[in-house]
């Protein structure tokens, strides 16, 4: 069996398996977890004082704003 490199591979997502809202929810939660981990690592491990110039803290508030706007529910 040979693969025709000129024929596109069908990589579409079946929306019946996962809706756009579920994908957005998963993405927001993943980003929230990553930003939270960065904040904890920076503040606890490195003893960094968190202020309004700390980029991961700004990212956390941005993600929270998107979560509230999205109306994230469990």
* Residues 50 and 57 sit within 8 Å (Cβ to Cβ): yes
Question: 39-54 burial string, b = 16+ CB within 10 Å, else e?
Answer: beebeeeeeeeeeeeb
pLDDT per position as a tens digit, 31-68: 989 998 988 888 887 777 777 888 888 888 998 888 88
Q: What angle do CA 57, 52, 44 make, to 5 degrees?
A: 50
Query: pTM for this structure?
Result: 0.61
List the chain domain ranges.
20-70
Of residues 68, 38, 66, 67, the one with CA closest to residue 54: 38
Provide the pLDDT confidence category of residue 5 given band limits of 50, 70 and 90.
very low
């Amino acid at each position: 069996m040979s693969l025709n490199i000129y024929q596109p591979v069908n990589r579409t997502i079946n929306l019946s398996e996962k809706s756009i809202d579920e994908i957005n929810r998963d993405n927001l939660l993943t980003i929230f977890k990553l930003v939270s981990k960065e904040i904890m690592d920076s503040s606890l491990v490195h003893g960094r004082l968190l202020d309004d110039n700390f980029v991961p803290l700004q990212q956390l508030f941005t993600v929270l704003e998107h979560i509230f706007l999205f109306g994230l529910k469990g």
